[in-house]
Structure 1
Amino acid sequence: MNTYMTFTAYGENAEPALADAKERVQELESLWSVTDEASEIYRANHSDGQSVEVSTETADLISFALDMAQKTNGALDPTIYSVLTAWGFTTDAKQVPSQTEIDRLLPLVDYTQISLAGSTLTVPVGMELDLGAVGKGYTADLVTELLKSQGVESALFSLGGNIQAIGSRPDGSNWRIGIRNPQGDGNLGVLEISDAAVVTSGGYENYFEDADGNVYWHILDPATGYPAHSGLQAVTIISPEGKLSDALSTALFVMGAEKAEAYWRENGGFEMLLITEQNEILVTEGIAQQFSLNDGRTETVREITR
């Protein structure tokens, strides 16, 4: 999953439960890695269009990713990997690809061409699946399920910034999650949550600058093949499920504030905090009272209502 992870759990079964959680994460990584030749995703991506059998976990994750791609009208597309590679975001050899190269690759970005029938997965020749926009979130959900099954009632873990909370703090108070300042060090404010997943996507997470000072980040618009410029600096999604928060943090960043608000009103099931390029903070009504700016911050906070 190519990220740093931390796990904290409380209670008498916490230590053995965390050992099992670590093992579970490693198992899932071995299934979903796009670079590990032994993984199910690598095998499907390099099958020359032949069908392959995958595990229940992989089938469930791909099914969810394809469903979210459909619900977000392609703002989230798990077949974007070849274009990400052209930009160098998967290899650390970051570069601006030619328009010719993007035009050649864009026809390979089309989630509707992926076939999943039960546990049988078919990836067309030339296309490549990448579950990076949902994998950490789904992993967090499975780890949550595992820890709860072992009696853990209070835990907090971070999978590369994907925050998942089980219950509340041991003293019964909410967990306090910092909301990062996308334009510099430190946090803008604090979000208080319990029993929830908090996932943030922002252009500041993985980017590069060319010789002319132009900034390019890793969140690409599947419709254009270029970094998504939607008027947002960061999107934070709060929901009961890590996979939903993970998927929507990317998709709504691509959509922009207006479409994100419309999506929230139409679908529900989650809350969000948006930071615009004008440094305005938009917070949905369900978490408006749980977010507070740090002392000294002067950003405008606007509540989004139904």
Structure 2
Amino acid sequence: MSTSTSPSTVTTSVVATASPPPAPTRPPTSSPAVSASPGEPAPASPTVIATAPSSHRIPPPADVTDGGPLRSLVLRALGTHCEVRYAPPSDAVATVFERDVRAWVERFEARYSRFRAESIVSRINAAAGSWVEIDAETEQMLDICASLHALTGGILDVTAGSLLRLWNFRTPLPQVPVPATVAAVRASVGWPKVERDAGRVRLRAGMALDFGGWGKEWAVDLVAELARQAGVRDALIDFGHDIRVLGTPPGRPAWHIGLEDPQSPGQHRGSIALPAGRGVASSGDYIRQFTFAGRRYGHIVDPRDGYPVAHGLRQVTVIAENCFMAGVLSTTAFVLGPRAGLEFIQRFPGAEALLVTENDRAQTRGFWNYVVT
């Protein structure tokens, strides 16, 4: 059986290009392998920011509006609804491709979900304070964590798992922890505190890893690579509204993606046309949230202070060269806030974004090139 691309074959830094490596050849037996190194891309030329009245907003991707002779693979994975719409060259290719996608996604989740008791992440978390042996694949995932932590100034921090457990937005009755508890848990967070040696890793007591900050978007791009390897030229991969497209839908010049209104979840308002190869992801706090003592708490927690983000942003949508990069930028910008978030995105050539606040919006000028309605 073949495995994923080895680090030696990946010569470009994920942080520099945000481009995922080739996916494993069929049948997939491992999660993505990639060499990553800390660093920052050179600042792009300044992008002109346009603003418009809040009565006209373009929110994040919500649904696909194209029709046509497409097959659809639907599964529940990674805590969300996942769908792959594609045009297979033959029924035989479709059968093998769908089998491989299911197998790869199941294995990826089984290895890297903190909600799977037997996952490598759960084993590392349970053994906090002790060394845990890991394979090369997991080492490479941790390399990516190091790169993202450096790139985002600590906003994307895989060690924030303990904070996410503390706030626990998945419970029916979430509670606001007292400041002393937040401070105590926050003290355990911080990628530089992770100890690594060849083939093993050790967390400090109280630490916990969580790949939820970028794992789903990474999976979307790897499924896109599986599609390419299978000979599928036209596809849309949508995992919980994080999307990557290949080619075009039959009879259409681009994939049209419906956009959800953050002020009215479940309602669409406008759409974008996503050309071949692009990815789109959004970050927002209008779905998973609760109100306590008159204050709204969203599920996106800033690991730098331990509290849910609260600066008026409702949603950030980013279109980029792939879904992984779109997700990295949207999450980071959401935590940074409207002005700093836009400035961060402007450093990445080719990335376009829309930021929606409670009363207004701002977007890069290039975002309008994708808007069709």
When normalised by structure 2's length, the TM-score is 0.73
Structure 2 CA distance for partners of 1:58 and 1:98, relative to 1, 3 Å: same
Are positions 1:209 and 2:291 aligned together?
Answer: yes
Report the equivalent of 1:3. 80
Q: Distance in 1 between matches of 2:136 and 2:351?
A: 26
Report the equivalent of 1:99. 179
Are positions 1:199 and 2:281 aligned together?
Answer: yes
Q: 90-99 vs 141-150, which deviates more?
A: 90-99
C-alpha contact (below 8 Å) 1:65/1:134 kept by paired residues = no
Q: CA deviation at 1:119?
A: 4.6
Secondary structure (helix, strand or coil) at the match of 1:286 reads helix
Q: Distance in 1 between matches of 2:342 and 2:161?
A: 27
Report the equivalent of 2:245. 165
Count matched residues.
Answer: 291
Secondary structure (helix, strand or coil) at the match of 1:132 reads helix
Q: Which amino acid aligns with 2:229?
A: S
Secondary structure (helix, strand or coil) at the match of 1:147 reads helix
Q: CA deviation at 1:40?
A: 0.7
Report the equivalent of 2:348. 267
Report the equivalent of 2:165. 85
Structure 2 CA distance for partners of 1:283 and 1:291, relative to 1, 3 Å: farther
Q: Distance in 1 between matches of 2:330 and 2:280?
A: 9
Q: Distance in 2 between matches of 1:216 and 1:243?
A: 26
Q: Distance in 2 between matches of 1:184 and 1:250?
A: 21
Report the equivalent of 2:225. 145
Report the equivalent of 2:73. none
C-alpha contact (below 8 Å) 2:313/2:358 kept by paired residues = yes
- Per-residue CA deviation, residues 127-164 of structure 1 (Å, 9 max, x unaligned), is 00100011101111211111110101111121112112
Structure 2 CA distance for partners of 1:117 and 1:179, relative to 1, 3 Å: farther
- Per-residue CA deviation, residues 97-133 of structure 1 (Å, 9 max, x unaligned), is 1111101111112122124456533322210010001
Report sequence identity in percent.
30
Q: CA deviation at 1:53?
A: 3.2
When normalised by structure 1's length, the TM-score is 0.88
C-alpha contact (below 8 Å) 1:84/1:90 kept by paired residues = no
Q: CA deviation at 1:49?
A: 2.5
Q: Distance in 2 between matches of 1:214 and 1:227?
A: 11
Match of 1:224 among 305, 316, 328: 305
Report the equivalent of 1:72. 152
Q: Distance in 1 between matches of 2:197 and 2:260?
A: 41
RMSD (CA atoms): 1.9
C-alpha contact (below 8 Å) 2:314/2:358 kept by paired residues = yes
Secondary structure (helix, strand or coil) at the match of 2:301 reads coil
C-alpha contact (below 8 Å) 2:278/2:320 kept by paired residues = yes
Q: Distance in 2 between matches of 1:258 and 1:7?
A: 35
Q: Which amino acid aligns with 1:208?
A: F
Q: CA deviation at 1:52?
A: 2.4
Match of 1:23 among 103, 112, 137: 103
Q: Distance in 2 between matches of 1:237 and 1:183?
A: 18
Gaps of at least 5 residues in structure 2 are: 1-77
- Per-residue CA deviation, residues 48-101 of structure 1 (Å, 9 max, x unaligned), is 333323344433333223212211111222211211211122444411111111
Which structure would you say has the larger RCO, counting Cα contacts within 8 Å and 6 or more residues apart? Answer: 2
Q: CA deviation at 1:4?
A: 1.5
Are positions 1:121 and 2:198 aligned together?
Answer: no
C-alpha contact (below 8 Å) 2:309/2:335 kept by paired residues = yes
- Per-residue CA deviation, residues 19-44 of structure 1 (Å, 9 max, x unaligned), is 21111100000000112221111111
Map 1:181-192; keep pairs closer than 5 Å.
181-185=261-265, 186-192=267-273
Are positions 1:286 and 2:366 aligned together?
Answer: yes
Q: Distance in 2 between matches of 1:190 and 1:118?
A: 48
Q: 94-103 vs 81-90, which deviates more?
A: 81-90
C-alpha contact (below 8 Å) 1:177/1:190 kept by paired residues = yes
Q: Distance in 2 between matches of 1:285 and 1:226?
A: 32
Q: Distance in 2 between matches of 1:215 and 1:21?
A: 38
- Per-residue CA deviation, residues 204-226 of structure 1 (Å, 9 max, x unaligned), is 1211122x342111001222211
C-alpha contact (below 8 Å) 1:165/1:196 kept by paired residues = yes
- Per-residue CA deviation, residues 227-261 of structure 1 (Å, 9 max, x unaligned), is 11233110112122222222222111000121122
Q: Distance in 2 between matches of 1:44 and 1:147?
A: 32
Structure 2 CA distance for partners of 1:100 and 1:76, relative to 1, 3 Å: same
Report the equivalent of 1:302. none
Gaps of at least 5 residues in structure 1 are: 295-306
